[in-house]
Structure 1
Amino acid sequence: MSTLLEMSGVSVSFDGFKAINNLSFQIGEPEMRAIIGPNGAGKTTFMDIITGKTRPDEGRVIFGEKSMSLLGMSESQIARAGVGRKFQKPTVFEAQTVRENFALALKNPRSPFDVLLHRKTPAGADRIEALAEQVGLSDQLPRMAGELSHGQKQWLEIGMLLAQDPRLLLVDEPAAGMTPAEREKTTDILVAAAQKHAVVVVEHDMEFVRRLNCKVTVLNEGSVLAEGSLDHVTNNPDVIDVYLGR
């Protein structure tokens, strides 16, 4: 497994508060990683830096075999380079069908002319069927996205991310607001995605993290406090003190 993303010595301050403090992190491809930590630990800022939303004050963020620096790139350039992000609240096109949502997300030529002519190709149709199956929405393709349950909207958005064929997926609290059955299925979808992609999941639900069965990175005060299996980090006295003991 080769290293896909490497952050080293990354720091960023907001009004004198160090949100990220000399953070170093790396993930391979394919790999699943869970990020946990107390509120204010820097989890969102960590994702913002990778996706270009926040510029760090120092450090480096290197991506891919060609060691591209993500720091000089815009958010859209980073997305095109292969970094996909799913926010906590699902953002799908509610007035479109599930099939149309997938079609809009497919990695096609994207000039205004192409979008106007939106050609339906057999390859595109096959890809949509495959994506729908991957996220458990095959029987929902004709439905309006707005009619889906909260969990189904989350799956649709994960599928739309996968349609862009990212190398790295950043997923923010996917289990929030889901039923136990939906949480279980979400685990399955992410674990399957991590067979091909690098997947980073920020999550508070420890049972959900346990089911991901992956390496866990604990953030606190903007740096890595501990790293290892869930059992390893949850038995760490510092982690118990700052996070689990609360």
Structure 2
Amino acid sequence: MTLLEVDGISVSFDGFRAINGLSFVIGEPELRAIIGPNGAGKTTFMDIVTGKTRPDTGKVLWGDDNLNLVGRSESDIARAGIGRKFQKPTVFEDQTVRENLAMALKDRRGPFAVLFSDGGSTERIMTVAKEVGLERQIDLSAGTLSHGQKQWLEIGMLLAQEPRLLLVDEPAAGMTPAEREHTTNLLRRLATRHAVVVVEHDMEFVRRLNCRVTVLHEGRVLAEGSLDHVTQNQDVIDVYLGR
């Protein structure tokens, strides 16, 4: 089932067209990787979907009712079920893993969510911690976690908000081989229940995801298909892989 449809969106900044008639769809559930050279429009695409940037033209259709997200606020879009994880983890390092997850719970954000968590909230927090592999670190301060564990915590904080779509930016960057393997397995598992879109430069990590790949170039789709398919495309080789 189509969850997100990007339909003919374009946007320019100071005369530079960052997105140029971009159109493609994301299903639910699905795991999708988006690759492409610097300046291809990957970050701008995520900015548009999450409401940070408004396109000059086109639509971003969401959910069962094809709701157009263009012009809606970032908070409204997040509440609609779209979560975004940036490349650099943004967790509350002085708070424990449990407290970070409690503050992120859907409809229970802020310090009172930590002070007055009920039984259902406690169960939900533990479920999410186990999902991302941090149940043993549940009462540790987030600042003591490794880089990879902080990434997993931030993914957990997104899951606590019960999103239908997760946008994940370069999750493998800076990770150890063991952390990368854990992250691969986590994203693939999540994609059995959610739509998960991963923007990534690391081709080996993308290969391990074993999913459909969309290649962007100059703000539009250059190629789409399996990684083997797109990496054999001469245009992709010329503009991205050959560099």
TM-score band, normalised by shorter chain:
over 0.9
Aligned to 2:182: 185
- Within the alignment, does 1:220 sit opposite 2:198 as a pair? no
Aligned to 2:208: 211
Compared CA separation, residues 60 and 245, structure 1 to 2 (3 A): same
The normalised TM-score by structure 1 is 0.96
Q: Which amino acid aligns with 1:106?
A: L
1:143-154 to 2 correspondences below 5 Å: 143-154=140-151
Instruction: Report deviation, 1:116.
Output: 7.2
Aligned to 1:39: 38
Aligned to 1:93: 92
Aligned residues: 243
**3-state SS of 2:139 partner:** coil
Aligned to 2:18: 19
Aligned-residue RMSD, C-alpha? 1.3
Does the 8 Å CA contact 2:103/2:114 hold for their aligned counterparts?
no
Q: Which amino acid aligns with 2:180?
A: R
Residue by residue over 1:157-196, the C-alpha shift from the partner in whole angstroms, topping out at 9 and shown as x without a partner, is: 0000011000110000000000111011001111111111
Instruction: Report deviation, 1:117.
Output: 8.3
Aligned to 1:74: 73
Q: Which amino acid aligns with 2:120?
A: A
| Aligned counterparts of 2:79 and 2:70: Cα–Cα separation in 1 | 14
| Aligned counterparts of 1:125 and 1:203: Cα–Cα separation in 2 | 33
Q: Which amino acid aligns with 1:71?
A: V
Q: Which amino acid aligns with 1:8?
A: D
| Aligned counterparts of 1:171 and 1:225: Cα–Cα separation in 2 | 21
- Within the alignment, does 1:199 sit opposite 2:196 as a pair? yes
Structure 2 spans left out of the alignment, 5+ residues: none
Residue by residue over 1:78-109, the C-alpha shift from the partner in whole angstroms, topping out at 9 and shown as x without a partner, is: 00000000000000000000111111111134
Aligned to 1:137: 134
Q: Which amino acid aligns with 1:88?
A: Q
Instruction: Report deviation, 1:129.
Output: 1.1
Q: Which amino acid aligns with 1:166?
A: P
Instruction: Report deviation, 1:229.
Output: 0.2
Does the 8 Å CA contact 2:102/2:108 hold for their aligned counterparts?
no
Instruction: Report deviation, 1:120.
Output: 1.7
**3-state SS of 2:6 partner:** strand
**3-state SS of 1:72 partner:** coil
Instruction: Report deviation, 1:115.
Output: 2.9
- Within the alignment, does 1:48 sit opposite 2:59 as a pair? no
| Aligned counterparts of 1:4 and 1:12: Cα–Cα separation in 2 | 22
**3-state SS of 2:70 partner:** helix
Does the 8 Å CA contact 2:106/2:161 hold for their aligned counterparts?
yes
| Aligned counterparts of 2:215 and 2:227: Cα–Cα separation in 1 | 10
- Overall identity of the aligned pairs, in %: 72
Aligned to 1:242: 239
| Aligned counterparts of 1:135 and 1:123: Cα–Cα separation in 2 | 19
Aligned to 2:106: 107
Q: Which amino acid aligns with 2:63?
A: G
**3-state SS of 1:71 partner:** coil
| Aligned counterparts of 1:136 and 1:116: Cα–Cα separation in 2 | 22
Structure 1 spans left out of the alignment, 5+ residues: none
Instruction: Report deviation, 1:29.
Output: 0.5
| Aligned counterparts of 2:182 and 2:88: Cα–Cα separation in 1 | 18
Q: Which amino acid aligns with 1:35?
A: I
Which deviates the most, 85-94 or 119-128? 119-128
Aligned to 1:8: 7
| Aligned counterparts of 2:144 and 2:115: Cα–Cα separation in 1 | 24
| Aligned counterparts of 1:40 and 1:72: Cα–Cα separation in 2 | 24
